[in-house]
Structure 1
């Protein structure tokens, strides 16, 4: 998954997940691939919401594995440093909107718009376990921009996490698990949990949000190659909001949430040139 904080499932789903399925040895994978993908997924409407959003999405995708410019399993961005141990890049991702009319706790409040996240990320590859997989640590820091009737900055987030990944049967299948936590400043917490006086009701009192921990997250993502052009993928993610800085908000409804999805990616064209040329 684009490795931004992904409070909703990202619009880049059909870029990032097929890319994760397709990436392998740079000596054999093509420089670029293009195709179509589709997925069905279900997530909480926003972190700690008791309402859910279930959606289907189908989009074309383009993967590009250049030395600097990358559109791959890490998202969309520029890889500025790449060594055996350390990788540093700058990238972005996006998250789908939530309409307040469909969310009981937010009814009558402004919609949650499409969020675009942009910023740097450091990855440290600290253990190669051979057949048992690889371990790395990641630290992304993202500015959050909302696109709803214009563009507005909605604060920043950071998501330190540990990632274990493994590939088997010559790359026919992949498995990745992660454990991390999402922190945000007061502005992004206000976006999700603050109730301004004009939106207060008898059941939804006014509330002023604070910054801090938003959630602790663990999840698993896997892919299987059906043939050279088609892969299927699925994921399950568990978020715990028990330590959320705004548990007293009337918009905070649950202490845990589960997201899940399945989909496929079909490559229609690829370059003859490999990624390392």
Structure 2
């Protein structure tokens, strides 16, 4: 069952990460469905020296409407919108290692997949040569599978992001995105991954506790390509733990970590439709006296 949860999370990460955003009119909607093959390589957790690589079939889903959007940035609901400021909902997740705990966490409770969701205030800083956005997400985090559910605090990733669409490489359409910023997290979040309870302490793994605060920095890069019904997406995330409050935890084996997600998809079904515009009341059409 644990492997099933991991597979589903991997599929979601790849499907949304490779979804190419399409510009649509404000009153139109677009839904695109397909399937493909994905690869995900990630450490057991930030700071772990153990990495896992998973290859599996995954779905492809892209949706854009007036208020709801599913793209490479995940699922977002536009709660408030102006030309330069958007308040929405964002989500993310992580895949810890499998049940074979042969790392520094051996003998400790197993880590569950984590889910993140919360509001994000996005400000369009500039459109010079592409889109520059300052994004301020704050997300509640839960660790869960079919048998367990536990709230583990909150995580914030304020970052500056540059994106550009409409580029071409021969017959392929390209879109790119780069982002970087610090991570901040609550004490409960840090304790879930990096605390060593005295009952699990060993001579090689002394007891350790940690508080809230700076959780390292993150840089992301994304490249998406489209040609006809084919879609390719490559996403890379690199974390640096230098100066982080949990850097001295005996569970932190390395000060950096990289997640790589690659997906190749074929779009099999597309539907576009326009939301009927509301007609003005009859009284509003009467000439003013």
The TM-score range, normalised by the shorter chain, is: 0.7 to 0.9
3-state SS, counterpart of residue 151 of structure 2: strand
Instruction: Report what 1:187 is aligned to.
Output: 188
User: Matches of 1:218 and 1:44 in 2, distance apart?
Assistant: 16
- The Cα of 1:134 is off from its aligned counterpart by 1.4
Instruction: Report what 2:265 is aligned to.
Output: 265
- The Cα of 1:100 is off from its aligned counterpart by 5.7
Instruction: Report what 2:157 is aligned to.
Output: 159
> Any stretches of 5+ residues in structure 2 without a counterpart?
1-8, 278-289
Q: Conserved in 1, the CA contact under 8 Å of 2:10 and 2:40?
A: no
User: Matches of 2:185 and 2:125 in 1, distance apart?
Assistant: 26
Instruction: Report what 2:231 is aligned to.
Output: 231
User: Matches of 1:207 and 1:94 in 2, distance apart?
Assistant: 25
Indicate how the Cα distance of structure 1 residues 61 and 89 shifts in structure 2: closer, same or farther if over 3 A, else same.
same
Q: Conserved in 2, the CA contact under 8 Å of 1:11 and 1:95?
A: no
> Any stretches of 5+ residues in structure 1 without a counterpart?
1-8
3-state SS, counterpart of residue 268 of structure 2: strand
Indicate how the Cα distance of structure 1 residues 276 and 38 shifts in structure 2: closer, same or farther if over 3 A, else same.
farther
1:163-174 matched pairs, under 5 angstroms: 163-167=161-165, 168-169=167-168, 172-174=173-175
Structure ID, larger Rg: 2
Instruction: Report what 1:145 is aligned to.
Output: 142
1:15 maps onto 2:12 in alignment:
no
TM-score by length of 2: 0.84
Instruction: Report what 1:240 is aligned to.
Output: 240
Instruction: Name the Cα RMSD after superposition.
Output: 2.3
Instruction: Report what 1:135 is aligned to.
Output: 132
- The Cα of 1:89 is off from its aligned counterpart by 0.8
1:71-150 matched pairs, under 5 angstroms: 71-99=70-98, 101-129=100-128, 132-148=129-145, 149-150=147-148
- The Cα of 1:57 is off from its aligned counterpart by 3.3
The count of residues paired between Structure 1 and Structure 2 equals 264
Larger deviation: 209-218 or 57-66?
57-66
3-state SS, counterpart of residue 249 of structure 2: coil
User: Matches of 2:198 and 2:69 in 1, distance apart?
Assistant: 45
User: Matches of 2:78 and 2:23 in 1, distance apart?
Assistant: 17
Q: Conserved in 2, the CA contact under 8 Å of 1:100 and 1:108?
A: no
3-state SS, counterpart of residue 90 of structure 1: strand
- The Cα of 1:36 is off from its aligned counterpart by 1.2
Q: Conserved in 1, the CA contact under 8 Å of 2:183 and 2:214?
A: yes
